[in-house]
Structure 1
């Protein structure tokens, strides 16, 4: 199934980097600016919702808030998140640049994430990998589900045999809905019921596609 692969589409959080500590710090800064959220945000809590769309995250974590309060908190969190990301970024997984540069020699590389607009750009700025990623799409652009964003990348760039690399159940489900083989990044934040291939570290992609 992977023999004729011509392109690799990556999830971001839990797949290419771990930015949960920065996100938790940013969201806590946002929470401190309002008087209607009592519980603190933790790295573990951020990891538990990684991969969900922005709207779904706030519906899950803050169901007790009014719609107006959730929307206000979401806007403040989004602003704080980008400010913190632009300053601090996240931790790139070991071997990321070497592996992506090796893969780029043979495959076209893309990113599809459920993040807000500006987040992928922040990753590219901190990682200095602009030259390796041909295109990207996120939930924040059109509020589309990840499966639809995968399909859009495939159609826009005329990809013949792409695969999707991700770490959560949402990634697995999105790839299946999009009709794209799924590679499970087991080192990330989630568990999945199945996969077409599994990697336990980023460099495993070289073994899978370049050996």
Structure 2
């Protein structure tokens, strides 16, 4: 038995479980270099991340001199192919994540992932990081053909994990709106790939470090369980 009023804790991937900014930046820089553009530092690319590879590349190209549809169409496969070959060079779990996962598992909860990242990147990345066996279900952005904020992927994540009371953690409006659309409570992480103040996401609760997650869930007052 557990005092936590949930059965499943669901997570977004990029910017929530893992800081993937270093490898995403390397892929962006590799792609834009084919057009002779100088590289961005990792910190400059973080605000571009969070709404998929195409938007990330659009933002990078806009910030480095602009683009047209043909240039974007040429560069996107270059970026994706490079990224697929270099998924976990710099990517790491956020501080406190592994300890929080273990504590949740010991409390009897299942862990799950719903990400807008395509399965071709998600599954190998989790394997290379060494986390693939820790999750009861993993749903990618192309698993169902629709992505967050559509609620269908979150519903699928819950079903594949065996069903039950679920809460979802994320760092973008797609995550928080997806949880809301799925009818489950949400927690925003302030350390992710935010493109504005975390309060703008209007999640049921906010954490600033994974050390805060277990105590928050044990004393859940953020919204309906």
TM-score class, shorter: 0.7 to 0.9
Matches within 5 A, 1:1-150: 4-32=5-33, 34-35=34-35, 38=37, 40-62=39-61, 65-86=67-88, 88-105=89-106, 106-147=108-149, 148-150=152-154
Structure 1 pair 52/75, CA: closer, same or farther in 2 (3 Å)? same
Partners of 1:54 and 1:155 lie apart in 2 by: 27
Residues matched between the structures, number: 207
The Cα offsets for residues 104-131 of structure 1, whole Å up to 9 and x where unpaired, read as: 2311111111223333224322332222
Structure 2: gaps spanning 5 or more residues? 220-225
Task: Tell me if structure 2 keeps the 8 A contact 1:97–1:129.
Answer: no
The Cα offsets for residues 61-102 of structure 1, whole Å up to 9 and x where unpaired, read as: 54754434322211110111121214x141221222221122
Partners of 2:74 and 2:59 lie apart in 1 by: 16
- Secondary structure at the counterpart of residue 183 of structure 1: strand
Between 40-49 and 143-152, the greater mean CA deviation after superposition: 40-49
Structure 1: gaps spanning 5 or more residues? none
Task: Tell me if structure 1 keeps the 8 A contact 2:136–2:160.
Answer: no
Partners of 1:94 and 1:113 lie apart in 2 by: 20
Please report how far the alpha carbon of residue 142 of structure 1 lies from its aligned counterpart in structure 2 after TM superposition.
Answer: 4.6
Task: Tell me if structure 2 keeps the 8 A contact 1:54–1:114.
Answer: no
Task: Tell me how large the CA RMSD over aligned residues is.
Answer: 2.5
**Residue in 1 aligned with 2:191?**
187
The alignment's TM-score, normalised by the length of structure 2, stands at 0.79
Partners of 1:156 and 1:17 lie apart in 2 by: 22
The alignment's TM-score, normalised by the length of structure 1, stands at 0.83
Task: Tell me if structure 1 keeps the 8 A contact 2:114–2:138.
Answer: yes
